[in-house]
Amino acid sequence: MHATAVAEVPVKSPVRGSIFDASNPGFKKDFDEKPFEFNHCFTADHPMFQLPRIRQILDNPNLMHHAYYDHGPIIIGQRWKELPERKLTSHEVFDNIDVASGWMMLRHLEKDPEYNELLEQCLNEVKLLTGRQIDEDKKSQEAIIFFTSPNRITAYHIDRECNLLMQVKGNKEMNIFDRNDRDVTPETELELFWSKDNNAGMYKPEFQDRAYVFQMRPGTGVHIPVNSPHWLKTPDNMSISFSISYQYKDTRRKHVYQANYYLRRMGLNPTPPGKSAFLDNVKRSVVSTGFAAKNLVKKVKGK
């Protein structure tokens, strides 16, 4: 078998005034279930994605502390605790992105009114296109810009967000795995991820041929469902990507996996989420009550 190369969707400009191409059936059929490619209106000509505007983020006191970066050689299965030592500042990496072998994640752009306006516009369209009750389901939402050097790998990982990643400048290869494939992502990895280790996902090269492979270009994007493992490769070009995402309330997924994590530590073999609505609800109730009691104790002690 070979990795599943997804047929490229021709770049199609959305209807004037829209961000996404509303004719894409993926929004209704596959949202937060399977990855799919879509078209969007953002390009490097957009004022919010020009380099001087992006660089302002690094000097914004409300945003600068949310900027993460690294530089140096990275492999697909890189563990975060083993990243190369940083020898450059964030500004040096930004200004020398063509040669710095760098990766920058400029987070929480919703704290900037102009980027937050883009985020709100995107999510409002997503609600209409998917028919999902996002406002009732979400705990938080976020906008991120990824700024990447040529020939750079973004290591394999899983996220807790429901994500739409839009390519704005340059090309990028996205590899996404089915979150329901338990060879790729065992229940134990998901339990550890939701309980204590954001880097719990382990790349297994023997299953690389199961990946959906998307060739992202400016004007195209890829939807990444919650917990779908993925890694990226930027070819011989600098890349700018814009991500909009939201996290579900903890009762949706997190509390069930946390309950299973502790049950497994007790020597039990817990039922995976989605197999029994009754057991899932019991686990949600127990974990939610436990957290509420813990927070109450903290408040009492703090008085």
Q: How confident is the model at residue 106 (pLDDT cuts 50, 70, 90)?
A: very high
Percent pLDDT > 70 in the chain is 90
Paired with 163 in beta bridges are 224, 245
What pLDDT, on a 0 to 100 scale, did the predictor assign at position 27? 98
Residues 200 and 287 in one domain: no
Residues 160 and 11 in one domain: yes
Q: How many domains does the chain have?
A: 2
Per-residue pLDDT of 209-224, as tens digits, reads 999 999 999 999 999 9
Residues 177 and 292 in one domain: no
Q: How confident is the model at residue 287 (pLDDT cuts 50, 70, 90)?
A: very high
What pLDDT, on a 0 to 100 scale, did the predictor assign at position 293? 44
User: Residue 93 belongs to a domain with what CATH number?
Assistant: 2.60.120.650
Helix/strand/coil (H, E, C) string of 233-280?
EECCCCEEEEEEEEEECCCCCHHHHHHHHHHHHCCCCCCCCCCCHHHH
- Checking if the pLDDT of 295 tops 70, the result is no
Per-residue pLDDT of 154-209, as tens digits, reads 999 999 999 999 999 999 999 999 999 999 999 999 999 999 999 999 999 999 99
Paired with 153 in beta bridges are 233
What pLDDT, on a 0 to 100 scale, did the predictor assign at position 110? 98
What pLDDT, on a 0 to 100 scale, did the predictor assign at position 296? 38
Percent pLDDT > 90 in the chain is 89
What pLDDT, on a 0 to 100 scale, did the predictor assign at position 298? 55
Per-residue pLDDT of 18-55, as tens digits, reads 999 999 999 999 999 999 999 999 999 999 999 999 99
d(CA 61, CA 31): 35
d(CA 55, CA 271): 48
Residues 141 and 271 in one domain: no
Residues 102 and 205 in one domain: yes
CB atoms < 10 A from the CB of 133, how many?
A: 9
What pLDDT, on a 0 to 100 scale, did the predictor assign at position 17? 78
User: At CA 105, angle to CA 104 and CA 110, rounded to 5?
Assistant: 140
d(CA 80, CA 278): 37
Backbone angles phi, psi at 24, to 5 degrees: -70, 120
Residues 177 and 282 in one domain: no
Residues 105 and 242 in one domain: yes
Residues 164 and 273 in one domain: no
Q: Which residues of 88-107 are buried (b: 16+ CB within 10 A; e: fewer)?
A: bebeebbeebeebbbbbbbb
Determine the structural domain holding residue 279 and report its residue range: 254-302
Residues 21 and 134 in one domain: yes
**Alpha helix (H) ranges present in the chain?**
26-29, 51-55, 90-95, 113-130, 134-137, 187-195, 254-265, 277-302
